[in-house]
Amino acid sequence: GRKVLIVYAHQEPKSLNGSLKRVAVEELSKQGCSVTVSDLYAMQFEPRATRNDIVGCLINSEEFNYGMETQEAYKRGDLSSDLIEEQKKVQEADLLIFQFPLYWFSMPAIMKGWMDRVLVQGFAHEFPNCYDSGLLKNKLALFSFTTGGSKEMYEKGAINGDIRYLLWPMQHGIMHFCGVRVLEPHICFAPEYVSEEKRKEMLTAWAQRLKTLWNEEPINCSPEWYFK
């Protein structure tokens, strides 16, 4: 069976994000997938990239260079245990689902910290092995998130601009850079401002999409998709 890692960032299990995560676990498990969840708030995941991420000696203790030190520590097997554990989950996964509420046109800090710390050089990318030749090139990713604003607010020409503009740094600058192929995002607009019935419809739509997810083609990872 296929393996799925859900990286989940929400403080409240009863939230719509919590329900979307639960639906994904149930639906994908029904399909025979093996599903792992990294519940970042429950894990009290450390978002800060610091010297503590390297176990043992630094290459240059006089002038700390996080990128270089973590790259070398990865090669030696000297990264902190929480990073090794997350990297193992990524390594084993065929699909990564990121489930979160949109904060300030981006992902919550705890999830950005996961990206900063887990996707180290040598593990996820290593120049010139990036974008189509990134080290995670046999994997798929899907960003599933909720917004505070309505769909109309995230359209081209609207006050917030096209929602795709916001996806450029997340989908292209992180996932595609590491070689991951990206599926169309799943967006639930303004769940706080709609009826209970509408929220149930959002969950049903997500469950339906998951049934045929493996048949989907990844998006065309080019600037045109984001800025056309």
pLDDT band at 218 (very low <50, low <70, confident <90, very high): very high
Per cent of the chain over pLDDT 70 is: 100
Name the percent of the chain lying above pLDDT 90. Answer: 98
Instruction: Report the length, in residues, of the chain.
Output: 228
Mean pLDDT in residue range 76-104: 98
28 and 94 Cβ atoms separated by less than 8 Å: no
Q: Beta strand pairing status for 3-8 and 34-39?
A: parallel
* pLDDT, average across residues 70-83: 97
Task: Answer whether residue 226 shows pLDDT above 90.
Answer: yes
Q: Output phi, psi for 98, to 5 deg.
A: -105, 115
- What domains are defined for the chain? 3-227 (3.40.50.360)
Write down the pLDDT at residue 228.
Answer: 84
- How far apart are alpha carbons 182 and 221 in whole angstroms? 8
Residue 174 confidence (pLDDT): 98
pLDDT single digits (tens) 6-38: 999 999 999 999 999 999 999 999 999 999 999
pLDDT in tens, 203-213: 999 999 999 99
Average pLDDT, the chain: 97
Separation CA 30–CA 39 (nearest Å): 21
Q: How many CB atoms lie within 10 A of CB 163?
A: 22
